[in-house]
Amino acid sequence: MGNAFAENESLFDVGEWRYGTGMGVQWFSPFGPLEAFLGIPLDPLSVEDSSVFEFSVGGANF
């Protein structure tokens, strides 16, 4: 859970927080780390996708 805030907004207004869930998998393959994640917002806005899939190859320490 969390949110992004402008400087003039209260950080402690939990009514503005957003919630989501998801799962991911990471495999340290011979070619480098492979990662796949699926995120699902629990309270999506009308302009948001119902889920987000991300895939990455490599990493910061690769």
Beta bridge partners of 54: 37
Predicted local distance difference test score (pLDDT) of residue 62: 52
Least confident range from 12-16, 18-22, 50-54: namely: 12-16
Name residue 33's amino acid.
P
pLDDT band at 2 (very low <50, low <70, confident <90, very high): low
Return the H-helix or E-strand segment holding 25. strand 20-29
Q: Are 34 and 27 in contact (CB under 8 A)?
A: yes
pLDDT band at 22 (very low <50, low <70, confident <90, very high): very high
**Domain layout of the chain by residue ranges:** 20-57
Return the H-helix or E-strand segment holding 12. none
For the question of whether the overall pTM of this predicted structure is more than 0.85, the answer is no
